[in-house]
């Protein structure tokens, strides 16, 4: 059985077909925690907060999403 993955743009809601054979790309925005090497941590707030990865079909959609979230 083949597993099919459907991804849509978090800004314009267009479907991003991740199963096509062409050399197309989309942007993914996510949280990655850096390792603590000094033993001290700062309290930081991530703005906008991300509970899961966000996907965008082009840079313009990423810009629009950021502007909408920061309003």
**What is the DSSP track for 2-68?**
----EEE-TTT--EEETT-SS----EEE---PPP--SS-------SS--SS-EEESSHHHHHHHHHH
Is residue 50, in this structure, part of any structural domain at all? yes
Is residue 38, in this structure, part of any structural domain at all? no
Is the model's pLDDT at 64 over the cut of 60?
yes
Between these two residues, 36 and 27, which has the higher pLDDT value? 27
pTM above 0.75, yes or no: no
Q: Which range among 3-7, 26-30, 40-44 has the greatest average pLDDT?
A: 26-30
Is residue 56, in this structure, part of any structural domain at all? yes
Is the model's pLDDT at 63 over the cut of 60?
yes
Is residue 35, in this structure, part of any structural domain at all? no
Is residue 14, in this structure, part of any structural domain at all? yes
Domain count, the chain: 1
Residues spanned by the domain of 21: 6-30+43-69
Between these two residues, 48 and 57, which has the higher pLDDT value? 57
Mean per-residue pLDDT of the chain: 81
């Amino acid at each position: 059985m083949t597993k099919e993955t459907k991804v849509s743009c978090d800004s314009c809601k267009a479907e991003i077909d991740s199963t096509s054979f062409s050399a197309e790309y989309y942007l993914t925005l996510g949280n990655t925690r850096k390792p603590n090497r000094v033993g001290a941590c700062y309290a930081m707030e991530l703005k906008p907060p991300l509970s899961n990865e966000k996907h965008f079909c082009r840079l313009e959609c990423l810009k629009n999403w950021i502007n909408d979230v920061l309003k």
